[in-house]
Structure 1
Amino acid sequence: MKKSLIALSSVLVFSVAVGAAPLNDYIAPTAVYAAQYQINNSMETITAEGYGPMPSGMPAGAAKVLARRAAVVDAQRNLLESVKGVAIDSETTVENFMLKDDIIHSKVNGIITGARVISEEAQDGVYKVTMAVPVYGVGSIADVAITAVVGDKAPVPVPAPSVDYVPGTGVSISGNYSGLVINVRDKGLVRTFCPAIYDTNGRAIYGVYNVDKKYAIDYGVVGYAKGPEGWGKVSAGTSRAGIKPLVIEAVGVRERTVNKCDVVISVEDADRILAENQRSHFLDKYAVMFEI
């Protein structure tokens, strides 16, 4: 039977529950962004379909009940397979963590068991259900993944720029940027719960360890803008990066990893970001977008 797995459907670009408030020390770039981002985050799910044949030779009502039960089990199995392949960071996937940790295995199975039925129908002797689990928020895949990586560690400050950094010709540190946008289009970047930014010397600029755990679970470490619609929101100032982002071109994505989830930028651009952050504080507000 036909089965469809839709992993990490990009409603916004990587995602919170409606009504969940940002952390007290986070200031959204615009009011429009704050409302839109929360709504879109609430819609981001991993979904899967399941099918159950209606048994013959029994009353229609009983056959429908049994077929629906089989369809739910099928959808849950498909959801689990889809979730297993989701990248937690550049080195591993949900499945790797499940194999290593019985607690994580139990939590993921609990999320799948509690998956929500978002549509169902009976047609041509087959019952079909579509089920979904949340990507972000309490009790989500992000909750399990980020907790597994970060534990109870408090966020650490982003680094300072190099002590000898001097802005290049035509570059000024204005202190007026609302966020950071890194263009990683056509470079094969894989979305993940724990992305990072490195420079070409391997220096870590920004990542999950710099973000408050609750914020990362609810909103993600970065936002992802995919395709013309997502890029248009960035240009319109309604993305996480706000109305006046600093735009940087990525050199590439991190190599020699299982998942190409990390962004690589030049040393000069890294220092510029860190110097600008000392004035604009956009990394402290986690106002970072990747255009993919």
Structure 2
Amino acid sequence: MKSMRKLFSVLLAMCVLLLSGTAMAATDITGGVIRVEGVSGVGQSFALKRIAAKVDAQRLLAEQIHGVQIDSNTTVENAIVTSDVVKASVSGVVKGAREVSCTTDEYGYVHVVMELPLYGGANSLAAAVIPNVPQQGFLPPSDIIPVDTKPAAPAVTTNPNQATVGNLYGATGQYTGLIVDCSGLGLQTAMAPALYTDGKKVVYGLENFSHEQVINRGYVGYSNSASSGVQRAGSNPMVVKAQSIEHFFNPVISKEDAARILAENQMNGFLSTGNVVFVK
């Protein structure tokens, strides 16, 4: 029995290591673009070396793109394997990637820097890989914490809806965006993550936006700090702390924070702008 338990523990540890390795292998998309540098050989004309460097850059770009996580279950590489349409689209955006610079070093090698934006229209990675899902509205806060568990609202009001979310959930309607602080939890980046409650309900995700919105701007930005790189959340962001991370990519928050976020959204629709930042 002890030997079986030991074997089970070893196998479990190996599985954890494999899963951790998969998450760590994901291409980081914090900067919003994928940038690579291709290098030529020597002994050719400048024109041929530039072509060779560009081909090298496109190869590197394809490698980086394949490691981008679309959602918690799918990488770009997975999507390419299962869909010829996605494969052709990804190939097209790689070939259409922008050449940022072309330089020659002291040894005669040509260096070409190329980059591909994650979002921003037909030439973006999002246009090639983000699925078009039916759009759904945001949940009301009462779906997370029912109204009858909160103190009663005042009997007289000029706007019952705003009074309900304001008095029962503490909403003010003054926030410009949302920052979810996931620092220390090992969050990995994805193009279509979801924000969950600890009850596994989706507070914020791909289904809350039109396909056009997601392709043009995405709906989540990433930062390495809650004090910098969070301009996307606007001048007065709401800040909540994640409790844990689900499947490496999806922050999980408390029901209380989820209800408060959704109540704020009922006040002014601030989630629909996509001004949300996850801090890693």
Task: Specify whether residues 159 and 128 from structure 1 end up closer, same or farther in structure 2 by C-alpha distance, changes over 3 A only.
Answer: same
Match for residue 19 of structure 1? Answer: none
**Structure 1 unaligned residues grouped into runs of 5+:** 1-6, 12-43, 56-61
Q: Structure 2: how far apart are the matches of 1:96 and 1:80?
A: 13
Match for residue 159 of structure 1? Answer: 139
Q: Structure 2: how far apart are the matches of 1:285 and 1:225?
A: 18
Task: Specify whether residues 198 and 128 from structure 1 end up closer, same or farther in structure 2 by C-alpha distance, changes over 3 A only.
Answer: same
SS in structure 2 opposite 1:77?
Answer: helix
Structure 1 residues 49-101: Cα deviation after superposition (integer angstroms, max 9, x where no partner): 1122122xxxxxx5222222221111111110001001101111111000110
2:94 to 86, 92, 112: 112
1:145 to 106, 110, 129: 129
Output aligned runs, 1:222-261, within 5 Å.
222-227=220-225, 231-232=227-228, 234=230, 239-255=231-247, 260-261=248-249
SS in structure 2 opposite 1:76?
Answer: helix
The Cα shift of 1:189 comes to: 1.2
Q: Structure 2: how far apart are the matches of 1:275 and 1:226?
A: 27
Q: Which has the higher contact order (CA 8 A, sep 6+)?
A: 1
Residue type at the aligned position of 1:161: P
CA contact under 8 A between 2:28 and 2:188: conserved in structure 1? no
- For normalisation by structure 2, the TM-score amounts to 0.76
Task: Specify whether residues 222 and 167 from structure 1 end up closer, same or farther in structure 2 by C-alpha distance, changes over 3 A only.
Answer: farther
SS in structure 2 opposite 1:232?
Answer: coil
Q: State which structure, 1 or 2, has the greater radius of gyration over its C-alpha atoms.
A: 2
Match for residue 121 of structure 1? Answer: 103
Identity over aligned pairs, percent: 35
CA contact under 8 A between 1:197 and 1:207: conserved in structure 2? yes
**Structure 2 unaligned residues grouped into runs of 5+:** 1-26, 152-166
Match for residue 40 of structure 1? Answer: none
The Cα shift of 1:10 comes to: 4.0
Q: Structure 2: how far apart are the matches of 1:8 and 1:187?
A: 16
Residue type at the aligned position of 1:277: N
1:185 paired to 2:173: no
Match for residue 13 of structure 2? Answer: none
CA contact under 8 A between 1:54 and 1:66: conserved in structure 2? no
The Cα shift of 1:167 comes to: 5.5
Task: Specify whether residues 232 and 167 from structure 1 end up closer, same or farther in structure 2 by C-alpha distance, changes over 3 A only.
Answer: farther
Output aligned runs, 1:270-281, within 5 Å.
270-281=258-269
CA contact under 8 A between 1:71 and 1:128: conserved in structure 2? yes
Q: Structure 2: how far apart are the matches of 1:178 and 1:128?
A: 42
Match for residue 155 of structure 2? Answer: none
Match for residue 35 of structure 2? Answer: 47
Structure 1 residues 142-179: Cα deviation after superposition (integer angstroms, max 9, x where no partner): 11122xx225x3x2101112352455999622232222
More helix by share: 2
CA contact under 8 A between 1:183 and 1:249: conserved in structure 2? yes
Provide runs of 4+ in structure 1 moved above 6 Å.
168-171
Task: Specify whether residues 9 and 86 from structure 1 end up closer, same or farther in structure 2 by C-alpha distance, changes over 3 A only.
Answer: closer
Task: Specify whether residues 9 and 251 from structure 1 end up closer, same or farther in structure 2 by C-alpha distance, changes over 3 A only.
Answer: closer
Task: Specify whether residues 51 and 242 from structure 1 end up closer, same or farther in structure 2 by C-alpha distance, changes over 3 A only.
Answer: closer
Task: Specify whether residues 282 and 47 from structure 1 end up closer, same or farther in structure 2 by C-alpha distance, changes over 3 A only.
Answer: same
1:85 to 61, 67, 74: 67
CA contact under 8 A between 1:223 and 1:240: conserved in structure 2? yes
The Cα shift of 1:251 comes to: 0.4
Match for residue 20 of structure 2? Answer: none
Structure 1 stretch displaced more, 158-167 or 132-141: 158-167
1:174 to 172, 175, 189: 172
Output aligned runs, 1:28-39, within 5 Å.
none
Task: Specify whether residues 141 and 233 from structure 1 end up closer, same or farther in structure 2 by C-alpha distance, changes over 3 A only.
Answer: closer
1:134 to 92, 110, 117: 117
Kindly report the root-mean-square deviation, in angstroms, between the aligned alpha carbons of the 2 structures: 2.3
Output aligned runs, 1:41-80, within 5 Å.
44-55=32-43, 63-80=45-62
CA contact under 8 A between 1:167 and 1:272: conserved in structure 2? no
The Cα shift of 1:9 comes to: 6.1
Residue type at the aligned position of 2:218: G
